[in-house]
């Protein structure tokens, strides 16, 4: 058994974080820093007739006030990486000029000597707006409605049809076709650390350093170089400690470029720290789809076809991946079932709201919600058990790689194994019996099942906007310490530990002798970043591959130092040894006064590689190896979640009674970290299922704009989560790992919704939209309109 890999190793990140000594952006203090605050549009849609900054400019401590007119074309537009046929990409300027299209859009920036003065001056800027009608409802926007951009003539960002198979024929040949409207409400990601940017421009060196709370330091560097017109090799982006992301920091934001530009104007460091209200208004939102499901089935429960017509809410602007998110929904509509024909028709629309983009799961929770709700609809229609219908449509474990009608090849899977394990843990049969008894007493008890699969380890470069690979450099320093430079950018996932575990085992060194460096573009070779549950499967594989290269090189030198051919050297637990038979030959060869060595430690080899006194011809000094790993496919983690709830008949309040989850993310480097990811994912799902929703009024004002209004799950709202795993290795990478960052969020929501629908099924309920607020349930129970 490996010493570290597969073990519950405590995190090496933690000592600094539990003592308050980590450094998030706002913890970095530079002398003479200027503070930036933004005036944001109070209207969702308006013309700016004039802006008067004179009073603000003269306020105490204020150094400058900038408006869109001052910026002009000096800073390039906020980028969108989506490249879909017919996509309309609005010109997204870092400060609005004459037109604002969502409440919270930056209109002016105050630069002051401290954050209090900057905030005070915001109130002194006078903007004369002419309010325009706003379009908020997605379907109304698609039909026409007020236009976000007059010049487009409609609110359609793009339309797209995807999927394979003859859907018309498939539905026609079905015994039953079930239709259901489904709403995936807008969510606000709310990483606990809001965004923040610190920029420092050195006019002499012409170097711009940006500390940003980001998941993608390298991609951000490239985009900031383009936006600011600074050579990319003069821009350094550092993602210091990052307090959560969940996709909301997988982006390039106006403020990141603008704070950099301000630092360049003044030759001083400039800092902006987002307030929570700004975060809720002007950091990307997630989900935001309204769809129409048509699912066909045979009377025996075989699924014949699935059509999903969806209106996707883009918001007013396209951020980095905004238009790409619905395409991920399309990819995963097959769920873990054999469905011969699938079609998705997307109508992506502009609205006067903040952009949607990647929020934990990014398009896949929507797909899973669609197919897992649809499976329950089929079961209800046919009067079959929800487990039976699912099992009937699973591909067998021998059918992998499994081709879907959405154009994917699922790498590996054993859906029945995970299902059966979860059923066993839950004691599903007894659960159903107890439910029957409870129902006989008039209680509303429900059991929900979700068997999910998701697409992650994003991904092959062909399938991503800008590189789906990841990079790693592994080197052993002269003193034998191991340094890993990863292009991944972990922000809570724990890869400083899991990558160190990997290296410690592979190189036979102590865990504490390994340091993992990430997030600094001047130190780390180009990388892609952490999102799409890719950190370990893609980033970790790059580390693994680099280690293998490093070991090859070290073996060459070790062999030279031991006086044998490389093939005669074996490596185990940190030592290179001459094979036993060969050792005897060396010993008998005579001529040497001292006893010939038969083994050498990797630390000694590292020192020898750097001192370079005794290296073989052609051997490059130093001991370092780099790998850029390009995956051949995505990976497809899967699992089964089973939830039991009881509804208070009088009030509609939902109580969790059990939560059982069996997840399969392939091989596991650190089970403790995997559990943590699953816990967090499930709880964000509980948030979506029961509490969270970004609500805008008809004028486009965000009504849930503080944490007093937007409910996140608290410790008291969560059931005990009973977890287990199955382990089906992925063939896509040598470690067999898949990814687990988003699986919980993807698998859990439908299980929770299915449980609540099941509880209400005696009342004829077949579907509920989220968040399942007590009032809505109370209305159903009491038939109140």
Partner 1 sequence: MIPAQFDYLAPKTLDEAIALLAQHADDAKILAGGHSLIPAMKLRLAMPQILIDIGRIQNLSYINEDGGQIRIGAMTTHYQLESSTTLKQICPLLPETAAQIGDVQVRNKGTIGGSLAHSDPAADWPAAIIALRAELVATSTKGDRVIKCDDFFVDLLTTALEPGEILREIRIALPSGRTGQAYMKVAQPASGFAVAGVAVTITRDQQGRCQSAGVGVTGVASKAYRAVGVENALIGGPLDAQSISKAASTVTDGIAINGDLYASEQYRHHLAQVYARRAIEAAAQRAQ
Partner 2 sequence: MKKAVSITVNGTTHHSEIEPRLLLVHYLRDVLGLTGTHVGCETSICGACTVMIDGQSTKSCTMFAIQADGSSVTTIEGLAANGALHPVQEGFWERHGLQCGYCTPGMIMSGAQLLERNPNPSVEEIRHGLEGNLCRCTGYQHIVEAVQHAAGKS
Q: Which residues are near partner 1 by CB under 8 A?
A: 115-116, 119-120, 123, 275-277, 650-651, 653, 691, 695, 703-704, 706-712, 714, 717, 773-775, 778-779, 784
Residues 2-61 that bind partner 2 (CB under 8 A): 10-11, 13-15, 17-24, 26-27, 29
Q: Which stretch binds partner 2 (CB under 8 A): 50-58, 264-272, 326-334, 711-719?
A: 711-719
Judged by beta carbon, residue 150 or residue 650, the one nearer partner 1 is 650
Provide, rounded to whole angstroms, the least separation between the CB of residue 178 and partner 1.
30
For the beta carbon of residue 346, count every other beta carbon within 10 angstroms.
25
> Which of 1, 580, 581, 715 touches partner 2 by CB under 8 A?
715
DSSP assignment of 591-643 equals --SSPPP-EEEHHHHHHHHHH-SS--TTPPSS-EEEEEE--SS-B--EEEEEE
Contact 472, 542 (CB under 8 A): yes
Phi-psi sector, 282: left (phi>0), alpha (psi -120 to 50), beta: alpha
Judged by beta carbon, residue 37 or residue 303, the one nearer partner 1 is 37
> Which of 48, 386, 665, 682 touches partner 2 by CB under 8 A?
682
> Which of 177, 417, 438, 718 touches partner 2 by CB under 8 A?
718
Distance, CA of 38 to CA of 51 (rounded, Å): 14
Distance, CA of 598 to CA of 585 (rounded, Å): 11
Judged by beta carbon, residue 119 or residue 236, the one nearer partner 1 is 119
Provide, rounded to whole angstroms, the least separation between the CB of residue 151 and partner 2.
37
Q: What is the CA radius of gyration of the chain?
A: 28
Residues 454-493 that bind partner 2 (CB under 8 A): 491-493
Which of partner 1, partner 2, none does residue 622 bind to, with CB < 5 to 8 Å depending on kind? none
Which of partner 1, partner 2, none does residue 202 bind to, with CB < 5 to 8 Å depending on kind? none
Number of H helices, E strands in the chain: 21, 28
Which of partner 1, partner 2, none does residue 79 bind to, with CB < 5 to 8 Å depending on kind? none
For the beta carbon of residue 87, count every other beta carbon within 10 angstroms.
17
Told to check if 773 binds partner 2 by CB under 8 A, we report no
Judged by beta carbon, residue 595 or residue 650, the one nearer partner 1 is 650
Distance, CA of 310 to CA of 44 (rounded, Å): 24
> Residue 190: is it exposed, middle or buried by C-beta count within 10 angstroms (0-12/13-18/19+)?
buried
Q: Which stretch binds partner 2 (CB under 8 A): 235-243, 283-291, 382-390, 615-623?
A: 235-243
Distance, CA of 352 to CA of 314 (rounded, Å): 9
**Alpha-helix residue ranges (DSSP H) falling in 311-383:** 325-331, 364-382
Instruction: Tell me, rounded to whole angstroms, the distance of Cα 704 from its chain centroid.
Output: 23
Judged by beta carbon, residue 163 or residue 490, the one nearer partner 2 is 490
> Which of 684, 730, 749, 754 touches partner 2 by CB under 8 A?
684
> Rounded to whole angstroms, what are the CA distances from 508 to 5, 543, 572, 603, 763?
12, 15, 7, 10, 62
Told to check if 675 binds partner 2 by CB under 8 A, we report yes
For the beta carbon of residue 199, count every other beta carbon within 10 angstroms.
30
- Give backbone dihedrals phi and psi of 464, rounded to 5 degrees, phi first: -125, 155
Residues 308-367 that bind partner 2 (CB under 8 A): none
Provide, rounded to whole angstroms, the least separation between the CB of residue 119 and partner 1.
4
Judged by beta carbon, residue 488 or residue 645, the one nearer partner 1 is 645
Provide, rounded to whole angstroms, the least separation between the CB of residue 770 and partner 1.
14
Which of partner 1, partner 2, none does residue 684 bind to, with CB < 5 to 8 Å depending on kind? partner 2
Q: Which stretch binds partner 2 (CB under 8 A): 165-173, 481-489, 523-531, 668-676?
A: 668-676
Told to check if 714 binds partner 2 by CB under 8 A, we report yes
Provide, rounded to whole angstroms, the least separation between the CB of residue 747 and partner 1.
23
Distance, CA of 605 to CA of 559 (rounded, Å): 10
> Residue 614: is it exposed, middle or buried by C-beta count within 10 angstroms (0-12/13-18/19+)?
exposed
Told to check if 453 binds partner 2 by CB under 8 A, we report no
For the beta carbon of residue 574, count every other beta carbon within 10 angstroms.
16
Told to check if 746 binds partner 2 by CB under 8 A, we report no
**CA distance from start to end of the chain:** 62
Residues 238-277 that bind partner 2 (CB under 8 A): 241-244, 246, 273, 275-277
Question: Using CB under 8 A as the criterion, what x/- string covers residues 190-219 for binding partner 2?
Answer: xxxxx-------------------------
Provide, rounded to whole angstroms, the least separation between the CB of residue 509 and partner 2.
22
- Give backbone dihedrals phi and psi of 580, rounded to 5 degrees, phi first: -50, -45
> Which of 234, 679, 766, 773 touches partner 2 by CB under 8 A?
679
Q: Please list, in sequence order, all residues whose beta carbon lies within 8 angstroms of the beta carbon of residue 626, skipping any fewer than 6 positions away.
A: 471, 472, 473, 474, 525, 546, 549
Provide, rounded to whole angstroms, the least separation between the CB of residue 271 and partner 1.
14
Instruction: Indicate the length of the chain as a whole number.
Output: 785
Instruction: Tell me, rounded to whole angstroms, the distance of Cα 337 from its chain centroid.
Output: 24
Provide, rounded to whole angstroms, the least separation between the CB of residue 675 and partner 1.
26
Which of partner 1, partner 2, none does residue 18 bind to, with CB < 5 to 8 Å depending on kind? partner 2
Provide, rounded to whole angstroms, the least separation between the CB of residue 761 and partner 2.
28
Among 727, 735, 505, smallest CA distance to 631 is for 735
Which of partner 1, partner 2, none does residue 119 bind to, with CB < 5 to 8 Å depending on kind? partner 1
Instruction: Tell me, rounded to whole angstroms, the distance of Cα 498 from its chain centroid.
Output: 18
Give contact residues for partner 2 (rule: CB under 8 A).
Answer: 10-11, 13-15, 17-24, 26-27, 29, 115-116, 190-194, 241-244, 246, 273, 275-277, 491-494, 672-673, 675-676, 678-684, 706-708, 712-716, 718, 720-721, 744
């Amino acid at each position: 058994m490996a010493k570290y890999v597969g073990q519950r190793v405590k995190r090496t990140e933690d000592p600094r974080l539990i003592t308050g000594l980590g450094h998030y952006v706002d913890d970095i203090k530079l002398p003479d820093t200027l503070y930036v605050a933004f005036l944001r549009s109070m209207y969702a849609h308006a013309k700016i007739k004039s802006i008067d900054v004179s009073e603000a400019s003269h306020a105490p401590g204020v150094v400058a006030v900038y408006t869109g007119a001052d910026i002009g074309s000096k800073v390039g537009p906020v980028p969108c990486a989506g490249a879909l046929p017919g996509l309309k990409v609005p010109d997204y300027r870092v400060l609005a000029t004459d037109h604002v299209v969502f409440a919270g859009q930056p209109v002016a920036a105050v630069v002051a000597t401290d954050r209090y003065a900057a905030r005070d001056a915001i109130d002194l800027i006078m903007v004369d707006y002419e309010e325009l009608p706003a379009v908020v409802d997605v379907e109304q926007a698609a039909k026409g409605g007020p236009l976000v951009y007059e010049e487009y003539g409609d609110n359609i960002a793009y339309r797209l049809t995807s999927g394979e198979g003859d859907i018309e024929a498939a539905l026609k040949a079905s015994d039953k076709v079930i239709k259901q409207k489904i709403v995936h409400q807008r969510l606000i990601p709310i990483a606990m650390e809001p965004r923040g940017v610190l920029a420092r421009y050195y006019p002499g060196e012409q170097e711009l350093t940006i500390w940003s709370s980001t998941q993608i330091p390298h991609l951000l560097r490239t985009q900031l170089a383009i936006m600011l017109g600074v050579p990319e090799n003069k821009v350094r982006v550092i993602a210091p400690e990052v307090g959560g992301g969940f996709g909301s920091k997988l982006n390039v934001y106006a403020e990141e470029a603008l704070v950099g530009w301000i630092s360049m104007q003044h030759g001083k460091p400039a800092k902006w720290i987002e307030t929570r209200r700004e975060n809720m208004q002007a950091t990307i939102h997630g989900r935001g789809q309204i769809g129409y499901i048509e699912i066909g089935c045979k009377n025996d429960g075989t699924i014949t076809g699935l059509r999903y017509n969806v209106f996707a809410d883009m918001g007013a602007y396209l951020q980095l991946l905004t238009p790409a998110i619905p395409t991920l929904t399309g990819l995963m509509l097959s769920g873990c079932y054999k469905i011969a024909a699938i079609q998705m028709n997307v109508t992506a629309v502009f609205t006067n709201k903040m952009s949607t983009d990647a929020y934990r799961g990014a398009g896949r929770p929507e797909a899973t919600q669609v197919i897992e709700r649809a499976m329950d609809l089929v079961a209800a229609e046919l009067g079959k058990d929800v487990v039976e219908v699912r099992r009937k449509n699973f591909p067998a474990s021998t059918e992998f790689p499994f081709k879907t009608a959405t154009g994917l090849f699922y790498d590996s899977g054993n859906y029945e194994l995970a299902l059966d394990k979860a059923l066993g843990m839950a004691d599903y049969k007894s659960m159903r019996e107890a439910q029957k008894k409870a129902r006989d007493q008039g209680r509303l008890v429900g059991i929900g099942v979700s068997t999910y699969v998701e697409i992650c380890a994003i991904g092959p470069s062909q399938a991503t906007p800008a590189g789906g690979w990841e990079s790693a450099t592994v080197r052993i320093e002269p003193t034998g310490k191991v340094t890993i430079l990863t292009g991944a950018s972990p922000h809570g996932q724990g890869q400083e530990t899991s990558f160190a575990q990997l290296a410690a085992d592979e190189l036979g060194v102590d865990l504490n002798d390994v340091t993992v460096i990430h997030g600094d573009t001047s130190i780390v070779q180009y990388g892609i970043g952490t999102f799409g549950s890719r950190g370990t499967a893609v980033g970790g594989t790059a580390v693994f591959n680099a280690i293998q290269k490093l070991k090859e090189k070290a073996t060459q030198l070790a062999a030279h130092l031991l006086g044998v051919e490389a093939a005669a050297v074996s490596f185990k637990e940190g030592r290179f040894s001459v094979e036993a038979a060969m050792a005897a030959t060396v010993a008998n060869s005579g001529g040497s006064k001292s006893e010939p060595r038969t083994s050498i430690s990797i630390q000694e080899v590292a020192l020898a590689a750097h001192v370079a006194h005794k290296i073989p011809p052609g051997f490059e000094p130093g001991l370092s190896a780099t790998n850029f790993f390009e995956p051949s496919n995505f990976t497809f983690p899967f699992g089964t979640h089973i939830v039991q709830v009881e509804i208070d008949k009088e009030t509609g309040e939902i109580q969790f009674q059990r939560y059982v989850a069996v997840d399969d993310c392939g091989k596991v480097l650190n089970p403790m970290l995997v559990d943590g990811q699953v816990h967090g994912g499930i709880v964000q799902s509980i948030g979506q299922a029961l509490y969270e929703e970004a609500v805008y009024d008809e004028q486009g004002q965000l009504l849930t704009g503080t944490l007093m209004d937007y409910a996140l799950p608290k410790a008291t709202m969560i059931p005990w989560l009973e977890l287990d795993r199955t382990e089906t290795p992925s063939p896509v990478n040598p470690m067999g790992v898949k990814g687990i960052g988003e699986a919980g969020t993807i698998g859990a929501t439908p299980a929770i919704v299915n449980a609540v629908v099941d509880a209400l099924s005696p009342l004829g309920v077949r579907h509920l939209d989220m968040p399942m607020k007590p009032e809505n349930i109370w209305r159903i129970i009491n038939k109140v309109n």
